[in-house]
Amino acid sequence: MPGWLATLKVFLSRPSVTPEHYWKSLHYFNLYRLILSGLFIVVYLLTGSLSTFGAENTRLFVVTSLVYGLFSLLMAVSISLRWPRFNLQLSLQTFVDVLLIVLLMHASGGIKSGISLLLVVSLASSSLISQGRQAMFYAAMAAIAVLLEQSYTYLVMHERDDYFHAAMLGMGFFATAGLGHFLAKRVSESERLVAQKSVDLENLAQVNELVIQHMQDGVLVVDGSGRVRSHNQRCEQLIGPPPRIWSDLRLNDYSPELADRVTRWRKNPDEVFNSMRSRVTGKHINTRFSPISQRGEAAVVIFLQDYSQVQAQSQQIKLAALGRLTANIAHEIRNPLSAIGHATQLLQEDEHDKTETRLLQIIRDNTLRLDRLVQDVLQLNRRDRAQRETIDTESFLGGFVEQFCLAEKIPAGSIVLELDYHGAICFDRGHLHQILWNLCANGWRHGQHHDASLRICLSQAHLDNVVQIDVIDDGPGVEKALVSQLFEPFFTTFSSGTGLGLYIAREVCEANGANLDYIEVAPGGQFRICCKGGMCETPKE
């Protein structure tokens, strides 16, 4: 096979990557061509003549119209097959348009018939469809064809020349092509901008969706009729899963209390709502509403915030201020406090009457109480200094019970160990000792001081790698009204207590990746430490 033929075959069989709307425009252009040729044929068949059209050569006009129609049908098939390539089809169709329209013009008497104006339509359409890339070539081809037809009429048929009109028509072709090129460039630039903006909008929508889905607050969009239009995953964590699919869900079915708040807010946007409790999750939730538009029954965006996080943030701010204050005054208090305590101790060594002895003992007791308060306050900074290690629970708890009983002068049988787990835990040894001492001291203080009044139970939780340490006493327990305040700083029911023991114990637990909670059981009080079981991971160097 010759080289030029192989190249032509590759050129014709190359797959098309032209956008679909280009082919659609070419299809409509070809439909115009089919209608035009069919109109000429139908008029001839109905009337038997074409009046001005085909006046010089009716047979040539009719044959050319038939050829034009058949070519249009062939191109319709070619366009539907998307073969050959778009640019090749467009050039072929434009060339045939110029050739056949010039023949129709020649059969109708030349330029004066007016058929040449159909070339303007074809050139304008070709320029727009091709995005202006070959507009001038098409204009030059049409101008040359018109001039050749005029020359043939003058030289062969010896008719009067009309080169002025042919020249003016050729200029019109170039003007049409130039305008088509300009408009095509504007359209192409607009399409490029629209495509770029659509990509930007799509990316922005994806970013917004990602941000909304990962927000710490729940987001619900509810329309005027109460139907839920949009939500994020946080809503299910705060309120609970919906009773049915979200697309068919109404807010009143999902959360009647929240729907009632929306109704009240629409009537009075300035109303302030307290936190609500979810019936499913049991969480306290703050609600905030924001209208999408200013219409009364328009859609509204509902923001749901976990009240426990608000409380935690508020407490962290409070404790940060407290830490700065106590760090500055603790050392200033200890020196004069030590001096007062030492002086009181020296005075107690001398003989005094009963009143003086009692007053000195009051000073001594309150000095020791203030010293314990300072010690507790200084321990607030220990939570960031956890040095976790692998602790054998059986030996550690056995040694702790023995040491606690000796220090607090408690009978040995008053504390019982119940070990259902014999492995190790990962904890700071000093921190664990401090936490258990605080819990056991509280338990013994409120207990009945009998045998087994205190029980330390060690067990493995149902969760993987979680070990539970329960400290249980036989006292009256904590009143339900006070449970929520149990771990707040400076809250105490003991007259000589500082109110920092349980708070510090929980903080130290969290520093070791553990949790400390009060378990409401009857009778007695029960505190539970949940920590990591097994060996501590060796830090990588």
Instruction: Give the residue numbers spanning the domain of 515.
Output: 386-532
Q: What percent of the chain has pLDDT over 90?
A: 26
As a whole number of angstroms, the distance between CA 273 and CA 254 comes to 19
Among 256, 290, 306, the domain boundary falls at 306
pLDDT for position 17: 64
Whether the per-residue pLDDT at 376 is higher than 70: the answer is no
In the block, residue with structure tokens 């258990």: 436
Whether the per-residue pLDDT at 8 is higher than 60: the answer is no
In-domain check, residue 467: yes
Q: What percent of the chain has pLDDT over 70?
A: 87
As a whole number of angstroms, the distance between CA 271 and CA 258 comes to 14
Amino acid at 467: V
Is there a single domain that holds both residue 367 and residue 404? no
Domain of 224, CATH number, reads 3.30.450.20
Question: Strand pairing partners for 230?
Answer: 221
β strands within 232-337, DSSP E: 276-277, 284-291, 300-306
In-domain check, residue 251: yes
Residues 6+ apart with CB under 8 A from 365: none
* Per-residue pLDDT reduced to its tens digit, 425-460: 999 888 898 899 989 998 898 888 888 899 999 998
Is there a single domain that holds both residue 243 and residue 98? no
In-domain check, residue 438: yes
Whether the per-residue pLDDT at 414 is higher than 70: the answer is yes
Is there a single domain that holds both residue 54 and residue 69? yes
Whether the per-residue pLDDT at 65 is higher than 50: the answer is yes
As a whole number of angstroms, the distance between CA 437 and CA 410 comes to 13
Pairing of strands 276-277, 284-291: antiparallel
Whether the per-residue pLDDT at 321 is higher than 90: the answer is no
In-domain check, residue 28: yes
Place 339 in a pLDDT band, splitting at 50, 70 and 90: confident
pLDDT for position 70: 95
Whether the per-residue pLDDT at 287 is higher than 60: the answer is yes
CB atoms within 10 A of CB 402: 12
In-domain check, residue 541: no
Number of domains in the chain: 4
pLDDT for position 483: 81
In-domain check, residue 203: no
As a whole number of angstroms, the distance between CA 358 and CA 101 comes to 128
As a whole number of angstroms, the distance between CA 140 and CA 131 comes to 17
What are the structure tokens assigned to 54, written together?
């085909």
Is there a single domain that holds both residue 41 and residue 189? yes
As a whole number of angstroms, the distance between CA 488 and CA 457 comes to 25
Q: Which residues of 36-51 are buried (b: 16+ CB within 10 A; e: fewer)?
A: bbbebeeebeeeeebe
* Per-residue pLDDT reduced to its tens digit, 132-141: 778 899 999 9
CB 398 within 8 A of CB 417: yes
In-domain check, residue 136: yes
The backbone torsions φ and ψ at residue 355, rounded to the nearest 5 degrees and listed phi first, read -65, -45
Is there a single domain that holds both residue 253 and residue 145? no
What are the structure tokens assigned to 300, written together?
């509204």
As a whole number of angstroms, the distance between CA 466 and CA 492 comes to 30
Is there a single domain that holds both residue 365 and residue 506? no
Is there a single domain that holds both residue 113 and residue 165? yes
As a whole number of angstroms, the distance between CA 53 and CA 72 comes to 20
Is there a single domain that holds both residue 32 and residue 151? yes
pLDDT for position 51: 65
Among 340, 356, 381, the domain boundary falls at 381
* Per-residue pLDDT reduced to its tens digit, 211-239: 888 888 889 999 888 898 888 888 888 88
Is there a single domain that holds both residue 130 and residue 236? no
DSSP, residue by residue, 111-154: GGGSTTHHHHHHHHHHHHHTTTSSHHHHHHHHHHHHHHHHHHHH
Is there a single domain that holds both residue 485 and residue 393? yes
Is there a single domain that holds both residue 326 and residue 280? no
Cα dist from 23 to 17, 75, 86, 513, whole Å: 11, 12, 7, 65
What are the structure tokens assigned to 96, written together?
């045939």
285: DSSP letter: E
Average predicted confidence (pLDDT) for the chain? 83
Is there a single domain that holds both residue 45 and residue 175? yes
CA–CA–CA angle 342, 348, 349 (5° rounding): 100
Whether the per-residue pLDDT at 541 is higher than 60: the answer is no
Domain of 528, CATH number, reads 3.30.565.10
Residues 6+ apart with CB under 8 A from 535: 390, 424, 426
CB atoms within 10 A of CB 296: 9
| Residue 48 backbone zone (phi > 0: left; psi -120 to 50: alpha; other: beta) | left
In-domain check, residue 198: no
Higher pLDDT, residue 199 or 320:
199
Among 291, 306, 321, the domain boundary falls at 306
pLDDT for position 216: 84
